[in-house]
Chain A
């Protein structure tokens, strides 16, 4: 499914005049839709759409032995499976680099932001909670990284711990408590900037993403001050210093938009209860 040269050229020409095929500005998101608690058997879940890109993230919790080098800390495992159901570009089979990279970028944002209080996930010397964050696109039309990051944060935020039977040292799967995961206010949301020609855009549709030959993803969190946590430069092309400056400045502005969406959703969720 190679993008035609003609489409690529038209995307370039449009961007030169500050326009995109769907009428958005260069640094505008598509319409964002959020649903939480969508999967009954998941401990937490969120389905997030940026336009036609639709991603489902589920959280599963289990009690396991800690890693020997971090005995008093919980465990986070993030995976992504690019379902062939969600795009003609994805083939069945073992995870390709695109899925592995996606999961690793999301994992780093969650881990490094201090969003998850890993030391509060310890139960005893031999037992800690393990968090699985599994990412599945339902329809992939560009910008999987930012959509997945937002869905992951919401799936974690809405997760409830299953019942843990201390005598049997086993989780009673399917039975839930009202307890939530120990999380801080540092919501790590990722904004990815795609370079096309000399222009920088966010939230590309698939055609735009394929016309781009370089990107930078930034996981940002803001509590009292804004901090960057996970960066990834991807693609073969380069960035000038002016371009990285632009990315850094706009990352904060764009993060604020996403953070407001998350807060709105979480507050609504509280009210409805």
Chain B
């Protein structure tokens, strides 16, 4: 049987319910929460601040540093606290997804730290984390050229879907599940994150990227709305 109906009843191009909020962590210079359904990411930004040790400093511009991790009880089977190979890699691709949007030329020798914590996981955690991080950077007032929005596109059997949930990620029938997290800049539409796990035909990948780009436009509107709402509160 082919994948003609999504497990949670969504349309193929529909992401789960999004919650986007900024300014939840008082200690941080900026913070944001972004969720796709039961996948909840919290991000905090600290900086720009002096970077130690000194040899990591860049005299030309400030450095962006991202750390992604999950709470031990964010997943059904407890995850051992502390970084893993998986979380280290996600931290790095998140950093690459975000680094082109920040403009740290006026902050040489400093660092902007972005900490992303997954409170609750139901697939697509890295893309929720990137969305939260981009909002937290804006909330912190870090100079930015544009925003980043991120989504996962799945190929479940032969069907392309937006925002893969855990049950879809584990789909085994037909051609199985392929997960493609991606991120796009808000203005230029350029791509800053692309990963893939599974198998896909070249033509399908082209379609998947188009679909992701369209979804990210909608996600960007939700990020923008949350940031504006906070401004109005003040």
Contact B71 A136 (CB under 8 A): yes
Query: Among residues 58 to 77 in chain B, which have CB atoms less than 8 Å away from a CB atom of chain A?
Result: 67, 71-77
A39 at the interface (CB under 8 A from B): yes
Quote the shortest CB–CB distance from B88 to chain A (angstroms).
11
- Closest residue of B by beta carbon distance from A130: B78
Question: When A and B form their complex, what is the total count of cross-chain residue pairs whose Cβ atoms lie within 8 Å?
Answer: 85
Could you tell me the distance between the alpha carbons of A56 and B72 in the complex, rounded to whole angstroms? 11
Could you tell me the distance between the alpha carbons of A173 and B121 in the complex, rounded to whole angstroms? 14
* Choice from A39, A52, A81 contacting B119 with Cβ under 8 Å: A39
B148 at the interface (CB under 8 A from A): no
- Closest residue of B by beta carbon distance from A45: B73
Which residues of the other chain, A, contact B26 by a CB distance below 8 angstroms?
52, 139, 141
Query: Among residues 76 to 98 in chain B, which have CB atoms less than 8 Å away from a CB atom of chain A?
Result: 76-78, 81-83
Q: How many B residues touch A, CB cutoff 8 Å?
A: 31
B140 at the interface (CB under 8 A from A): no
Q: Which of B26, B27, B43, B72 has the most CB of A within 10 A?
A: B27
Query: Among residues 20 to 37 in chain B, which have CB atoms less than 8 Å away from a CB atom of chain A?
Result: 24-28
Contact A40 B44 (CB under 8 A): no
Q: How many A residues touch B, CB cutoff 8 Å?
A: 32
Contact A134 B117 (CB under 8 A): no
B38 at the interface (CB under 8 A from A): yes
- Closest residue of B by beta carbon distance from A171: B77
Could you tell me the distance between the alpha carbons of A207 and B43 in the complex, rounded to whole angstroms? 24
A60 at the interface (CB under 8 A from B): yes
Which residues of the other chain, A, contact B42 by a CB distance below 8 angstroms?
85, 138
A87 at the interface (CB under 8 A from B): yes
Could you tell me the distance between the alpha carbons of A132 and B26 in the complex, rounded to whole angstroms? 28
A42 at the interface (CB under 8 A from B): yes
Query: Among residues 149 to 177 in chain A, which have CB atoms less than 8 Å away from a CB atom of chain B?
Result: 173-174
B46 at the interface (CB under 8 A from A): yes
* Choice from B46, B82, B116 contacting A88 with Cβ under 8 Å: B46
Contact flags A112-145 to B (C-beta < 8 A → 1, else 0)? 0000000000000000000010101011110000
Contact flags A65-103 to B (C-beta < 8 A → 1, else 0)? 000000000000001010111111000101100000000
Q: Which of A40, A59, A92 has the most CB of B within 10 A?
A: A40
Contact A81 B82 (CB under 8 A): yes
A109 at the interface (CB under 8 A from B): no
B115 at the interface (CB under 8 A from A): yes
Contact A86 B25 (CB under 8 A): yes
B175 at the interface (CB under 8 A from A): no
B113 at the interface (CB under 8 A from A): yes
Given A39-B120, A85-B117, verify A92-B74 contact (CB < 8 Å).
no
Contact A85 B74 (CB under 8 A): no
* Choice from B28, B43, B81 contacting A79 with Cβ under 8 Å: B81
Q: Which of B73, B77, B81, B119 has the most CB of A within 10 A?
A: B73
Given A87-B27, A141-B26, verify A41-B74 contact (CB < 8 Å).
yes
A58 at the interface (CB under 8 A from B): yes
* Choice from A58, A139, A174 contacting B72 with Cβ under 8 Å: A58
Contact B27 A59 (CB under 8 A): no
* Choice from A43, A83, A94, A95 contacting B117 with Cβ under 8 Å: A83
Which residues of the other chain, B, contact A94 by a CB distance below 8 angstroms?
82
Could you tell me the distance between the alpha carbons of A54 and B38 in the complex, rounded to whole angstroms? 21
Could you tell me the distance between the alpha carbons of A92 and B42 in the complex, rounded to whole angstroms? 16
Give me 6 other A-B pairs in contact (C-beta within 8 A), A79-B72, A94-B82, A140-B27 excluded: A40-B38, A40-B120, A42-B73, A60-B73, A134-B73, A139-B26
Chain B interface residues (CB < 8 Å from chain A):
24-28, 38, 42-44, 46, 49, 67, 71-78, 81-83, 113, 115-117, 119-122
Q: List 21 A-B contacts (CB under 8 A).
A: A40-B38, A41-B38, A43-B73, A52-B27, A58-B71, A58-B73, A62-B78, A85-B43, A85-B115, A85-B117, A86-B25, A86-B27, A86-B44, A95-B82, A134-B73, A136-B71, A136-B117, A139-B25, A173-B76, A173-B77, A174-B76
